[in-house]
Amino acid sequence: MSGRDSQRARVYAAEEFVRTVFDRAAQGGSRSIDFFGTRITLPPEARFGSVASVQRYVDDVLALPAVAACWPHRTALAVRARRGATAAHYERRDARAVIAVPDRGHWALRELVVLHEVAHHLDDSAGPPHGPGFVATFCDLAALVMGPEAGHVLRVVYAKEGVR
């Protein structure tokens, strides 16, 4: 990955809004929401209780036939605990790829955050970390794994935030 990560703040703002939309849908008792004038039903979002459960989820996602078809170059991805509670991140060291998630901060132990990090792993564009290649990868991955509604919500909110 190269280039200035100029839309990072917009990507994070959009994703924070999307997580809020999912949270409100979960709290409302009905997953059906009015989303920018369209009634849609959001899929439930997985929540994780441990780093080990995140690892099992990541392994399952990478083994999905649809993911294999879209990203045949995919490789193994390890998950480790991160000391700080303020961020999750993706790192590649030599041939090893790792997602680090706070095991104390439950905000990161959710499907949308984990898929964001998996998208970094699958994005093979030469662009910046949160550039158009990453955005497309994350939207496609969310649609494949969570359902087309999740991909749609991400695409619309990214567009509203000016993310390309």
Q: Let me know if residue 74 belongs to a domain.
A: yes
Cβ neighbourhood burial of 1 (10 Å; 0-12, 13-18, 19+): middle
49 in a structural domain: yes
The Cα 145–Cα 67 span in angstroms is 8
Tell me which H or E stretch contains 33. strand 32-35
Confidence of residue 108 (pLDDT cuts 50, 70, 90): confident
Residue 156 inside a domain? The answer is yes
Q: Mean of the pLDDT values across residues 107-121?
A: 95
In a domain, 18, yes or no: no
Residue 23 lies in a domain: no
What mean pLDDT value characterizes the chain? Answer: 93
In a domain, 24, yes or no: no
Residue range(s) defining the domain that contains residue 101: 8-13+44-160
32 falls within a domain: no
Domain count, the chain: 1
CATH number where 138 lies: 3.30.2010
- Tell me whether residue 25 is in a domain: no
Instruction: Name the nearest CA neighbour of 91 among 80, 83, 102.
Output: 80
Q: How confident is the model at residue 86 (pLDDT cuts 50, 70, 90)?
A: confident
